[in-house]
Chain A
Amino acid sequence: MTERNNNILLKIRGLRIEAYADENWVEIVHGVNLTLRRGEVMGLIGESGAGKSTIGLAAMGFARDGCRISGGTVEFDGMELTTTPQSDLRILRGARIAYVAQSAAASFNPAHRIIDQHTEAPVQYRIQKRMAAQEDAMTLYEKLRLPNPKEIGFRYPHQVSGGQLQRAMTAMAMACRPDLIIFDEPTTALDVTTQIEVLAAIRDIVNEYNTAAIYITHDLAVVAQMADRIKVLLKGEEVETAATEQMLASPQKDYTKSLWAVRSFERPQKERPVNSETPVISVQNVDASYTSGAKVLDDVSFDVFAGMTVAVVGESGSGKSTTARCITGLLPPSRGQVLFRGQPLPPRYQDRSKDQLRQTQMIYQMADTALNPKVRISEIIGRPAQFYGGLKGAALKNRVDELLDLIELDPARFYNRFPPELSGGQKQRVGIARALAAEPSFIICDEVTSALDQLVAEGILKLLDRLQNEFNLAYMFITHDLATVKAIADEVVVMRNGKVVEQGAKHEMFQPPHHPYTDLLLSSVPEMDPNWLTTVLEERGVDNLGEAATASSAQQ
């Protein structure tokens, strides 16, 4: 840190960006300033639609299709990017400014080997010969603690796990030793246990080569680990900028304070009913597999009682969603059974009665894709009310109005609208209303808040909590986000590789002693403390981390 000189590398002044929508150019970034010194890491933080990625790309002189830089200046190392012709800008990209995208799985070309994509830029810019570039790639892979650094690059992207790909992409960005790297939410798509490895790898390599970086994220705790300074954005405008410690300790603006406050929502934990009441849903020794493949679920058992929330946590591929599919009957278990209020449910949903189907409803992660974009809200919500409740005409309309009131959307405004006209949070509310319309006693919430911004997500959690109290609903809450678990769960089930690793009441789960995996999961959740990552890494030991990476790759 001390070696850093005060040379200014990137100077953005009064940046304005317009996007083309409905045959009009609409301004989405309204005059943002940004100054970045060599070797400095700047965190850009804000909700979706704040313009973080757009600004990040503009720092490369790049505007996505349908966007244009309409005003202001972007000065990179004395060169004005907004007036430079594209062909000259192209020479900067990859060589002096590199980009690390959110989803490495989607951003690596599936048709080429990882190392060939890595060496593309250095070979093209004649910085290195192909063989030398490959050697260098292997060195970088090793530095980023990828398993088998000599060999991994010769695989195709689909043969490598998500966390490894994200590190390979960071290595690729480093290929030409750029002065500046734009990290666009590089760990958002990863599990917490994988995220911590990627974060550590990125931080080390950025420090080692003294590369300046713009780190874009919506996760405050992550940015606190990575950035020297933090800039908070809201709807294309800067809210405030400060050094990381200062920003965390004493945010000035109300909006920043509200961001910081999000994680404080926590509802009181409920206890299981003492008298031996039968659980609403009881999953008993369930095994399951997809078409003759290996077992995806192995002896899964847990109970969900009325009015309580059971959070099912685990990394992707641990069998959380498959359990939900077994409960709903979409995937008949190969062994074991699911009881509803003590009565076994037929394994296939086709064999279940209308009333049994009604009792179990689902809310999905991606409200975008779970709602038919061509169907009016009234019909989306009305359809289950009609199907299960047999409502018609005025009674149906009243029921839909009632449901819209429940989810805090004004019936007069939303009754006739279509899903694409709604915001992400509103769509998720409609998804909730659709589940409620069937008057279920049990709702499966599959990562319902993970696609939403924190403030919006909190609103959804509060709504779910209120509805639970009102209708005595039982929730199975599938999530990989432990902050959400803290906020809403009564009981926690930890899953890994299709097995239940540990389960119990929430307060027990968040207190040691834990199962080692639960421990790993808990300690991997980023905290606001800027020294958190350093401390955790020291506790675990860097070698240990590397082993964890190898172990996780071996599973996959």
Chain B
Amino acid sequence: MNDVFKLVLKRLGLGVLTLLVISVLIFFAVELLPGDIAQAVLGQSATPENLAALREQLGLNVPAPVRYFHWLTGAIQGDFGTSLITGDRVGSTIGPRLLNTLFLASYAAVIAVPAAILLGIFVALLRNTIFDRVANVLTLTAISSPEFFLGYILILYLAVKTGWFPAIASIGRNADFSTMLYNSFLPALTMVLVVMAHMMRMTRAAIINLLASPYIEMARLKGVPAWRVIVHHALPNAWAPIINVVALNLAYLITGVVLVEVVFVYPGVGQLLVDAVAKRDFPIVQACCLIFAATFILLNLAADVGAILTNPRLRHPK
């Protein structure tokens, strides 16, 4: 167990380092824009006096590395500065939005991950049957269609024609949990459809890949039933690739939902990011990017650790 702990610490350290590199990239990418932030915010009509004043206000006269350092130390403490447009703290602007996005992502994940893995097991068991082919075609169709298109199709059939679910996923401040689930069902379903195919196909491939192993033949020759061969003998050895794909898709659920949020007018981080880019609200853009990067790094770290923990050779050293 000690080895695993060391490995996790090492990966965690690497993750922090990666995040640091990304923060540099994010910060200086904004610096690289023609002109500076003040110019970008004020646009072409800016007078030199206005510019000078705004630069003074934003502290742009200080050299970039110093500002980066200030920004970074602030970010580590959760202070991402103030919005250029509204003047609110970035943290308090993003906070509730991030919670909404996380809610939607977990909602979709709770449905998609078990469903995808179960379906993957079923198609592995019934491989090369009509069920396998149909499941493959359907999930591939879902993943190949753009999210906004899927979203509109769902709105058309499940909201406009039947009226089962609301087309606009507004989750009010006082809505209770079940109402929130009901209201945000359509965006969640859209995302489920988008991420299912990868996970299901990887589960299927990882399991089938193992079916030629001698220990699977041994299990069959011991008279183990087919479902148990798959679930008990193949699946425990197939976790590593499955966990990796699940982690990537979970990250996508958080960072890649911009279009879905826009289609369903869902108040999440994605929509905030789009707005901030349009309005050149750079502190918010930087903070969002940093959060997305951290999400990717953390989930991949979790996937690595998960893959290690499912490997008996590492869990039980000699």
Contacts and interface: CB of A to CB of B under 8 A. Distances in A.
Contacts of A106: 213-215
Contacts of A124: 223-224
A121 B212 contact: no
A101 B217 contact: yes
A261 to B, nearest CB: 33
A518 to B, nearest CB: 29
Interface stretch (A87-95, A286-294, A301-309, A384-392): A87-95
Interface of B is mostly: helix
B218 A99 contact: yes
Contact of B222 (A110, A120, A156): A120
B62 interface: no
B218 A156 contact: no
Given A110-B237, A111-B236, A62 B218 contact: no
A408 to B, nearest CB: 35
Given A98-B222, A121-B222, A125-B223, A109 B316 contact: no
Interface residues of A, number: 32
B221 A94 contact: yes
A65 interface: yes
Contacts of B221: 57, 60, 62, 93-94, 98-99
A176 to B, nearest CB: 9
B34 interface: no
Interface string B219-258: 1111111000000110011000000000000000000000
A299 B11 CA distance: 39
Contact of B214 (A60, A103, A112, A172): A103
A107 B225 contact: no
A125 B312 CA distance: 27
B225 A90 contact: yes
A109 B225 contact: no
Contact of A156 (B212, B213, B224, B312): B312
A65 B212 contact: yes
Contact of A94 (B212, B213, B223, B232): B223
Contact of B236 (A64, A93, A112): A112
B313 interface: yes
Contacts of B217: 64, 101, 107
Contacts of A158: 312-313, 316, 318
B223 A95 contact: yes
Nearest to B318: A159
B318 A108 contact: no
B318 A109 contact: no
A110 B215 contact: yes
A91 B223 contact: yes
B219 A109 contact: yes
A106 B233 CA distance: 13
A99 B223 CA distance: 11
Contact of A93 (B212, B220, B233): B220
B211 to A, nearest CB: 8
A93 B217 CA distance: 12
A90 B223 contact: yes
A111 B214 contact: no
B215 A108 contact: yes
Interface in A83-133: 90-95, 98-99, 101-103, 106-112, 120-121, 124-125
B313 A110 contact: yes
A536 to B, nearest CB: 30
Given A112-B236, A159-B318, A101 B214 contact: yes
Contacts of A99: 218, 221-222
Nearest to A175: B222
A125 B222 CA distance: 11
Contact of A159 (B214, B224, B233, B316): B316
Contacts of B316: 155-156, 158-159
B307 to A, nearest CB: 13
Interface in A35-82: 57, 60, 62, 64-65
Given A94-B223, A106-B215, A112-B233, 16 more contacts: A62-B221, A65-B212, A90-B225, A101-B218, A102-B214, A106-B213, A106-B214, A107-B217, A110-B237, A120-B219, A120-B222, A121-B222, A121-B224, A124-B223, A156-B313, A159-B318
20 contacts: A57-B221, A62-B220, A62-B221, A93-B220, A93-B221, A99-B218, A106-B214, A106-B215, A107-B215, A109-B236, A109-B237, A112-B233, A124-B223, A155-B316, A156-B312, A156-B313, A158-B312, A158-B318, A159-B316, A172-B222
Interface of B: 212-215, 217-225, 232-233, 236-237, 312-313, 316, 318
List 9 A-B pairs, minimum CB-CB distance, nearest first.
A111-B236, A94-B223, A94-B222, A93-B223, A106-B214, A99-B221, A107-B214, A107-B218, A109-B215
